[in-house]
Amino acid sequence: MTEIKDNIYNHSCNDNAGNLKNLSDFEGQTLLVVNTASKCGFTPQYDGLQELHSKFKDSGFSVLAFPCNQFGNQEPGSSAEIQEFCSVNFGINFPIFEKVDVKGENAHPLFKYLTSEKKGLLGSESIKWNFTKFLINKEGKPIARFAPNTAPEKISQEIESLLNS
User: Which of 128, 134, 131, 126 minimizes the C-alpha distance to 149?
Assistant: 131
Considering 13, 40, 68, 86, which one is annotated as catalytic? Answer: 40
> 3-state DSSP: the chain helix, strand, coil percent, rounded to 5?
35, 20, 45
- Dist. CA 65–CA 131, nearest whole Å: 9
User: Which of 23, 25, 20, 1 minimizes the C-alpha distance to 10?
Assistant: 23
Do 111 and 103 contact (CB within 8 A), yes or no?
A: yes
Do 136 and 8 contact (CB within 8 A), yes or no?
A: yes
**Residue 86: active-site member:** no
- Dist. CA 149–CA 86, nearest whole Å: 19
Length of the chain: 165
- Catalytically active residues are 40
